[in-house]
Amino acid sequence: MDVVDARTRSRMMAGIQSKNTKPEMAVRKVAHALGYRYRLHRRDLPGTPDLAFSRFRAVIQVHGCFWHRHEGCRFCTTPASNVEFWQKKFRRNVERDGKAEVALAAKGWRMMVVWECQARDAAFIETGLRRFLGEPRQEIIANDTPVSPPKTA
C-alpha cells in the first residue's frame, strides 16, 4: 500500500534526508514558546541533531516514522516493491541513528527522539520537553545565544 505521495517518494528514493520538516517545525515552535533556546543542525555534534540545547547538553532528533522505523507505528510501512532495497536503506538509517546516540552519549550529551506521529500533538511535545530538559529558567535563557523565532512553514 502506498502511503506517501509522489514527491515524497522521489525524495526518499533519492535518499535525501529532509530538514525543516513540518514535524520539526512543530517541535521548534513548542520549544521556543516554552523559552528553551536551541541551535539547529549542529554539524559539530554526532548525527547533526535537529535541535541542540547547549545549556542542557541535550539534543532532540525529530524522526520520520517511515524513514527511521518507528516500531509499531502505522506510518512505519515497507513499500511492496524493491523490498530488499528499502530494508537495506532502513537498516542503514537505524544503524546511523544508534551510532549517533552512542557518540553523543560519549560526549556527555543526552538525546531524545520525537517521532513524526507524536509531533502532531503540541501538548505531548510540551510534556516531553519539560520531562527531558527540566523547566526552562529565565536566568539561563538570558545568557544563552539568542535565536530567531522559528519561521512558519
- The DSSP line for 83-150 is HHHHHHHHHHHHHHHHHHHHHHHHTT-EEEEEETTTTT-HHHHHHHHHHHH----HHHHHHSPP-PPP
CA distance 31 to 38: 8
**What is the nearest approach in angstroms of Zn ion to the Cβ of residue 17?**
17
Contact 147, 38 (CB under 8 A): yes
CA distance 57 to 52: 8
Residue 1 or 106: the one with the smaller Cβ distance to Zn ion is: 1
Interacting residues with Zn ion between 60 and 99 (CB under 5 A): 65, 70, 73
The grid coordinates listed for 68 are: 527511521
**What is the nearest approach in angstroms of Zn ion to the Cβ of residue 115?**
4
Q: Which stretch binds Zn ion (CB under 5 A): 16-24, 29-37, 57-65, 88-96?
A: 57-65
Number of residues that bind Zn ion (CB under 5 A): 5
Q: Which stretch binds Zn ion (CB under 5 A): 10-18, 30-38, 58-66, 79-87?
A: 58-66
Q: Which stretch binds Zn ion (CB under 5 A): 1-9, 59-67, 81-89, 132-140?
A: 59-67
Interacting residues with Zn ion between 111 and 140 (CB under 5 A): 115, 117
Residues that bind Zn ion (CB under 5 A): 65, 70, 73, 115, 117
